[in-house]
């Protein structure tokens, strides 16, 4: 017997079953793996570690491939690299990376780019000795003499906030724990505003702190008791106002404070009304307001700062059924307007002094564009980021007046990347209800539609998130082995406007899964692949997508990767002590309502595991994940093991020192990707 045969004979861990009954609406749901929620139980940790050991053994024969993939991906990255410096006042700020170091180094130069470098913060020094490290807040004071930064060393997204004097390099004595990555400076360079999280990891409190004073004297400015709302704080680009924002999935409220008078009181702009969302930008004497009130795809209003009550709002851009207004940016003489039209992002520029307007043109049939770092208000230069499935991330400076753009940097792809060797397409699949679903496809030139190509299909389809058609140098390791890549722009996202989102949530959630299945069927029918060569992947709510479609159509897929998957939908959303509970009722529905309960239970992946054949599966989790608790993928894996009738591989890989985003360092992250790619290539027979 070969080594591989002996390893394949290894028995997977079997989770003991302890009967637990959920009772609601007269329905009894036995849950034999409910006990896995108790992370303080040594048996739970032992079980997760046993699963990790099993996964390592079952993937041992791919170790050489994993190392090859890791080296390939690393070889394409310029390890010693520099971000494009941006100007803020008299300083130029940037980050750089060094070979062998996992995290960025934050720097600046004063006066010109030829000035001596000043290192503000080296994340590598802070991360030394930590299994996990994440920088949250990084905010320099208005006078550029102080730095506020916050770090998380567990992945639980509870940050500790520090203050550093950049002139003396001394830390202030105060250290504020359990904060969220939301923070702002008052213009006095002494008053700061920070948010703290509750037991369910929800930012619910805003505090005001004076540097150099005891934390226990900090003033609680605002407490949001409603579990549906998240609280955040941000300053306008004009530096005139600090905004306190409150947002649920369908409702928002904004309060404002003069940043020059940070000890004053916040004033509300428009009290919350259920279902009404709005966001604020400041320009001279007005607040510009993007809102969905009587505007499904949102509209732009403005209100005088002297009296911003709703009766004084006036229309700047009316609503449009075909154009989704995603947001705006205000500069001294320009509004930059970000839309989505026909599934693609578009950017328009309005010169306020003349009301002339033009569009910024982009050259490819599918792409992504987003605003980059633009701290200065009095400028006519817009910095934006552009990328596509073929074009690496590119930073441009765009002159808003003369409409000229300057490429400041295209992310280098080492090893002779030739973009002419790859091609992307945007096509459409037809859903069961006749809806056309956009589908992006990326492949190497010369790929034949012979029905035999290995293909990886990904998607998300929740929270109105539009899945980006962006570049990844790591994907070249799949493309160069003949793999076709596809992205399903399914309902539940906002690719085709707000209606696209609304028709993929609540009691329309099944559209998300049906759209994805339709995309898979289209790829097979069009000759791109076959069910024996088709793999799928998705993370978080995208993991819910994976779980739902392999329950509904397991015959379509050869293999699946579900990263930190949200799969125990009903149990999680019923438990209001968890982050994904009451805050999520406005996305998925409230299961205390029987109609929503029955609907959610009908698609919840964990509740619908059945005795049948499933694809090969790799499932990942993070022990400290505050968004999707580790026990969701763990329970799902255990139930699949006990019920599935096939002999396909089923692996659970739990990161015992991280959270929702997996490994934090860039090298460890590449190793995680190499592991997932090796799993897929092994299933395709390309190992």
What is the set of active-site residues?
540, 625, 660
> Scanning the structure block, which residue is given the tokens 């705006």?
328
* Residue 66 near residue 681, CB atoms below 8 Å: no
Cα distance between residue 112 and residue 342, in whole Å: 42
CA atoms within 13 A on the CB side of 344: 16
Cα distance between residue 317 and residue 298, in whole Å: 9
Q: What is the DSSP letter of 131?
A: S
Pairing of strands 394-399, 381-387: antiparallel
Determine the distance from the C-alpha atom of residue 35 to the mean position of all C-alpha atoms in its chain, rounded to a whole number: 30
Cα distance between residue 613 and residue 611, in whole Å: 7
Helix or strand holding residue 587 (H, E): helix 585-588
Cα distance between residue 640 and residue 620, in whole Å: 14
Q: What is the DSSP letter of 219?
A: E
Beta pairing partners, 192: 185, 209
Burial class of residue 96 in the structure, from the number of CB atoms within 10 Å of its CB (0-12 exposed, 13-18 middle, 19+ buried): middle
* Residue 449 near residue 526, CB atoms below 8 Å: yes
Helix-strand-coil percent breakdown of the chain, rounded to 5?
Answer: 25, 35, 45
Write out the two tokens for 164: 């550093």
Cα distance between residue 199 and residue 581, in whole Å: 13
| 510 Rama sector, left if φ>0, alpha if ψ -120 to 50, beta otherwise | alpha
Query: Sign of the C-alpha dihedral, residues 348, 354, 355, 356?
Result: negative
Cα 168 to Cα 115, 145, 163, 655, 684: the distances in Å are: 20, 9, 12, 39, 58
Q: Is 666 in a helix, a strand, or coil?
A: helix
**Residues 6 or more apart from 573 whose CB is under 8 A from it?**
580, 581, 584, 585, 588, 590, 591, 600
Cα 352 to Cα 26, 318, 401, 544: the distances in Å are: 61, 17, 11, 45
> Scanning the structure block, which residue is given the tokens 């009550």?
309
Cα distance between residue 167 and residue 187, in whole Å: 18
Query: Sign of the C-alpha dihedral, residues 412, 395, 371, 194?
Result: positive
Nearest to 266 by CA among 293, 246, 290, 251: 246
Q: What is the DSSP letter of 618?
A: E
Write out the two tokens for 175: 């250290």
Can you spell out the DSSP letters for 623-645?
TT-SSS-THHHHHHHHHHHHH--
**Residues 6 or more apart from 327 whose CB is under 8 A from it?**
279, 290, 338
């Amino acid at each position: 017997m070969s080594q591989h045969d002996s390893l394949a004979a290894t028995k997977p861990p079997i989770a003991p079953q302890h009967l637990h009954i959920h009772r609601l609406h007269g329905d009894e749901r036995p849950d034999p793996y409910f006990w896995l929620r108790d992370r303080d139980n040594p048996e739970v940790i032992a079980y997760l570690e046993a699963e990790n050991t099993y996964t390592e053994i079952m993937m041992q024969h791919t170790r050489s491939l994993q190392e090859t993939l890791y080296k390939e991906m690393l070889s394409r990255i310029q390890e010693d690299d520099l971000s494009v410096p941006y100007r803020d006042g008299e300083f130029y700020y940037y980050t750089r990376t060094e070979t062998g170091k996992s995290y960025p180094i934050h720097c600046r130069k004063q006066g010109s780019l030829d000035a001596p470098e000043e290192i503000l913060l080296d994340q590598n020094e802070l991360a030394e000795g930590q299994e996990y490290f994440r920088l949250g807040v990084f905010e320099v004071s208005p006078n550029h003499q102080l730095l506020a930064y916050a770090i998380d060393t567990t992945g639980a997204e509870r940050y500790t906030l520090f203050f550093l004097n950049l002139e003396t390099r001394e830390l202030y004595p105060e250290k504020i724990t359990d904060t969220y990555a939301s923070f702002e400076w008052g213009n006095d360079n002494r008053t700061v505003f920070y948010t703290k999280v509750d037991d369910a990891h929800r930012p619910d409190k805003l505090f005001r702190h004076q540097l150099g004073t005891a934390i226990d004297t900090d003033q609680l400015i605002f407490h949001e008791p409603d579990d549906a709302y998240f609280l955040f704080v941000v300053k306008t680009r004009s530096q005139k106002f600090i905004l306190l924002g409150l947002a649920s999935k369908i409702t928002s409220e904004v309060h404002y404070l003069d940043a020059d008078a940070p000890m004053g009181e916040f004033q509300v702009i428009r009290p919350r009304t259920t279902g009404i969302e709005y966001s604020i930008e400041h320009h001279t004497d007005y607040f510009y307001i993007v809102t969905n009130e009587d505007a499904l795809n949102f509209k732009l209003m403005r209100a005088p700062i002297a009296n911003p009550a709703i009766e004084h709002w006036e229309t700047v851009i009316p609503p449009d059924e075909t154009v989704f207004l995603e947001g705006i940016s205000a500069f001294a003489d320009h509004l930059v307007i970000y839309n989505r039209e026909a599934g693609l992002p578009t950017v328009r520029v309005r010169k306020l002094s003349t009301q002339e307007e033009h569009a910024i043109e982009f050259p490819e049939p599918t792409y992504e564009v987003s605003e980059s770092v633009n701290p200065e208000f009095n400028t006519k230069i817009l910095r934006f980021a552009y990328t596509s499935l073929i074009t690496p991330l590119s930073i441009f400076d765009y002159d808003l007046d003369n409409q000229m753009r300057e490429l400041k940097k295209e992310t280098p792809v080492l090893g002779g990347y030739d973009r002419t060797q790859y091609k992307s397409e945007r096509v459409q699949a037809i859903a069961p209800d006749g809806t056309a679903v956009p589908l992006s496809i990326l492949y190497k030139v010369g790929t034949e539609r012979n029905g035999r190509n290995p293909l990886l299909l990904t998607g998300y389809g929740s929270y109105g998130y539009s899945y980006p058609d962006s570049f990844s140098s790591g994907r070249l390791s799949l493309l160069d082995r003949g793999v076709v890549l596809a992205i399903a722009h399914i309902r539940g996202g906002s690719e085709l406007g707000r209606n696209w989102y609304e028709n993929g949530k609540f009691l329309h959630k099944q559209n998300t899964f049906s759209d994805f299945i339709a995309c898979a069927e289209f790829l097979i029918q069009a000759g791109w692949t076959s069910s024996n060569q088709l793999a799928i992947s998705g993370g978080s709510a995208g993991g819910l997508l994976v779980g739902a479609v392999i329950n509904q159509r397991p015959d379509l897929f050869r293999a699946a990767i579900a990263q930190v998957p949200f799969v125990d939908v009903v149990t999680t959303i019923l438990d209001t002590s968890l982050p994904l509970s009451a805050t999520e009722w406005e996305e998925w529905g409230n299961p205390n309502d029987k109609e929503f309960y029955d609907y959610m239970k009908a698609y919840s992946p964990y509740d619908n595991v059945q005795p049948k054949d499933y694809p090969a599966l790799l499932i990942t989790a993070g022990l400290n994940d505050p968004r999707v608790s580790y026990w969701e993928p763990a329970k799902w894996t255990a139930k699949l093991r006990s019920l599935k009738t096939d002999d396909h591989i089923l692996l659970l890989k739990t990161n015992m020192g991280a959270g929702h985003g997996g490994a934090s360092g860039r090298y460890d992250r590449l190793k995680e990707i190499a592991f997932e790619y090796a799993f897929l290539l092994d299933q395709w027979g390309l190992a």
